Every structure is written in C-alpha cells, then in structure tokens.
Chains A and B, each alone.
Chain A
Amino acid sequence: MFGSAIIVFRETLEAALLIGIIAAATRGLSGRNLWLAIGMGAGLAGSLVVAGLTGTIAEMAEGAGQELFNAAILGIAVLMLGWHNIWMATHGREMAAQAKSVGLAVKSGQREMSALAILIALAVLREGSETALFLYGLAASDGSSRVSLLSGGLLGLAAGIAAGWALYSGLSRIPLRHFFTVTSVLILFLAAGMAGQMARLLIQGDIIRPLASPLWDSSSLLPMDSFAGNLLHLFAGYEARPSGMQVLFYTLTFLIILAGMRWNRPRPRQATAT
C-alpha cells in the first residue's frame, strides 16, 4: 500500500507544486479560480486520453513518440512560464505597489490567465497520464492486494494535492513586498529545470546529441533518490548526472528568461513618465 502511495504521490507532486506556485503567483488577478479549474479539468480529461493512447504515441516517430510528445509539452510549458515571469516583471511591481487595486490590468490579466490555464492543463496532462496508467495497471491486476494498492494510490494522490496546497498557503503568507520576487525566482528555476528535462527526453529519443554524458556526477554527494536531491530536482531541476546538452538547455533558458525580466522591468520614475 505504501509503495503505491509513494509512486502516485511522486507523480502528483510535480503538477501539484506547479499549480500551487501558479495559483499563488496569480493571486489578485480576476477570474483566477475559474481559469485554474478549467486548466485542471482539461488536464485531467486529457491525461485519461493520453493514458489510453500510450502505446500508439510510443510507436510514433520510430519509437521516439513519447519523448517528442513530452518534450513538446515541456517546451510549451517553458515558454509560458518564461512569458509569465517577463510579464510579471512589470505587472507584479504595479500590483505590489498598489496592493488594493485587485482588478488591475483586467484585460491583459485575462490573457495571462488563459495562457496559464493551458500551462496547468499540460502539467496535469503529463503527470496525470502516468498516474492514470499506473492506477489502471493496479486495477487490472488481480490478487487480494488490489484494494490496498488502490487505496494507497488514492492516499498518494491526496498527499500530493495537500503538498501543492501547503506550498500555496505558504507562499500566500509572504508579504506582498517580497511576494513577486519569490514566485518569480521559483518559476525561473522551474522553467530552467523543465528545459533540462526536455533536453534529456530528446537525447533519450536520439533526436539530439548528449554532448558530454554525464558532464558531472554528483550522485555520491547528493543522490537523486535522497530527500534533498528529490526536492532540488522538483524545484530547481537538479540532476546528479546531467549530460552537457541538459546543462546547456538549462543555462540558456535561465539566462534568456532572466534577461527578459531585467529588460521588461520598469525604469525608475522619471523614465516611466512617458
């Protein structure tokens, strides 16, 4: 029972944490809850479809279908997270400066929210389809342990959602002054980590070269299956044995989004008067 709880927990966690961060980062935007719900609903429905099509997707592109599919999802997610951060570089400051104007930037806020709903749908789709497959496997297996395995799975699901919720409430407690800085930094690392994962998938499918594999090996210092390693992997895309290409994708994404945020940051008073 604990085994299946942990597997489902791990699969759910990634999506739940992303939703927690996005939900926190968009507080104050009107219609946020509706958009979040649309994103999650679409993602759940999509994950069932993708789980059913796993075999078909895997056989596409000469066996690299799954990698291409997941890499495309990650690529879109990176673009949206990057865009969110660059957008927030101006709007976050405005919102922090005038904390009470909740309905601020309603028009651009709606566009932002619809893009983030897609992002959430994709995150739920990716992690949800694996969870659905795993749970399906449990349900299809016979044997007396089925009920306990399934209830373990549900327990894991609940724990993953609880973790996302805890992160959300934790972030919401941060004073508004520092709030957008914290969420922006979190999202910056998250996006870079996703870009690294995208590179790993493309290498696994033999679409791009690994360059150096691995570039370094820190598995004796901080193994991937340790608690700290897992946590760093989730939030910052840590890999104990990354290939050179993964590090390249990671670094470039990090720098490009950071540059966009700097560039879009409002200038001091006299400059913004125009």
Chain B
Amino acid sequence: MKALVLACLLYPLASLAADAEFGLTIKDHRFTPSELKVPAGQKVKLVVSNLDSTPEEFESHELNREKVIAGHGKATIYIGPLAPGKYPFFGEFNEKTARGVIVAE
C-alpha cells in the first residue's frame, strides 16, 4: 500500500532518462534551422541559443510553449511527446522575420 501511494505521488514527476536533444539558433532575428525535424511520440529537449544582443521570446500556439531568451542567452524548452505533424513557432519580439516550424515524424 505504501509503495503504491509513493508510486502515485512520484508518477507526475518527470523521468530522468536522457532525452533527444535538438538545437535552434537565433541570429539577426531569424531561426536556424527554420525547419527542424524531431521524432514523434517522445519528449524532446529543445535548446535555443540566442546569438543576438537583444532578447527574444520563443512562442508556439501549436506546441503550447512560450519562453523568453535573454540576449546572448540560451534556453531549454521541453516539448512533446508530439503527434506527427507540423508545429510552427515564432519569435514574439520579431514576429516578421523570426519564424520556423518543427516537423514531428
């Protein structure tokens, strides 16, 4: 019984297993690569490096994610597990140029 309660309490905590890691770079208010392929059906660690001196906000309605990245800063964003498909994202502070899409397959 105790073990069961403990398991139930711990279950919501994320697992410690290594996650697939992918990188995105922001330079001159653009994302590279602008199309990023990630595996579907598993949690993905996204590391966004901002090479600009100005801050940016990574945002995606499709991924349900939003995170501010300081100038010359780095941010880790966990996404998924995703169903196969296209998930557009953008930089809210420079929406015209900073656009990209994550393709889960």
Given A55-B72, A219-B61, check contact A209 B55 (CB 8 Å).
no
With contacts A3-B95, A137-B55, A140-B53 taken as known, whether A242 is within 8 angstroms of B64 at the C-beta atoms is yes
Chain A residues lying within 8 Å of B54, measured Cβ to Cβ, are 136-137, 140-141
A140 CB contacts on chain B under 8 angstroms: 53-54, 71
- A45 contacts B by Cβ under 8 Å: no
A72 interface residue (CB < 8 Å to B):
no
Interface residues of A in 61-86 (CB under 8 A from B): 62-64, 66-67
Cβ contacts under 8 Å, B53 to chain A: 140
CB of A203 closer than 8 Å to a CB of B: yes
Which residues on the B side are within 8 Å of A245 (C-beta)? 12
Are B75's CB and A63's CB within 8 A? yes
Q: In the bound complex, what is the Cα–Cα distance between A60 and B28 (angstroms)?
A: 26
Complex Cα distance A241/B66, Å? 13
Bound form: Cα–Cα A147–B56 in Å: 20
With A54-B73, A137-B93, A141-B54 known as contacts, the answer to whether A204 contacts B67 (CB < 8 A) is yes
CB closest residue in chain A, given B52: A137
Whether, in the assembled complex, B62 has its beta carbon less than 8 Å from a beta carbon of chain A, the answer is yes
Expressed in whole angstroms, the minimum distance between the Cβ of A66 and any Cβ of chain B is 6
Supposing A7-B93, A137-B54 touch, asked if A208 and B67 sit within 8 A by C-beta, the answer is no
Choose from A67, A141, A211, A241 the contact partner of B64 (Cβ within 8 Å). A241
A74 → B minimal CB distance (Å): 13
Residue of B nearest to A207 (CB): B14
Q: Which of A59, A136, A207, A242 contacts B74 (CB 8 A)?
A: A59
B68 touches A54 (CB 8 A): yes
Contact A55 B70 (CB under 8 A): yes
Segment 207-228 of A: residues with Cβ below 8 Å from B: 207-211, 213-214, 219, 223-225
How many B residues face the partner with a CB closer than 8 A?
39
When the two chains form their complex, are residues A209 and B12 in contact, meaning their CB atoms are under 8 A apart?
yes
Contact with B along A128-141 (1 / 0, CB 8 A): 00100110110011
Which one of A64, A206, A224 lies within 8 Å of B61 (CB-CB)? A224
Contact residues in B for A210 (Cβ distance below 8 Å): 81
Q: Is the CB of A223 within 8 A of B61?
A: yes
With contact pairs A140-B53, A206-B14, A208-B12 given, residues A225 and B67 touching in the complex (Cβ less than 8 Å): no
Residues of B at the A interface (CB closer than 8 Å) are 11-15, 19, 43, 45, 47, 53-57, 61-62, 64-82, 92-93, 95-96
Known interface pairs A7-B93, A137-B54, A200-B64; 14 further A-B residue pairs with C-beta atoms within 8 A, sorted by A's residue number: A7-B92, A54-B73, A55-B70, A59-B74, A130-B57, A137-B55, A140-B53, A203-B78, A206-B14, A208-B13, A208-B14, A209-B15, A213-B80, A213-B81
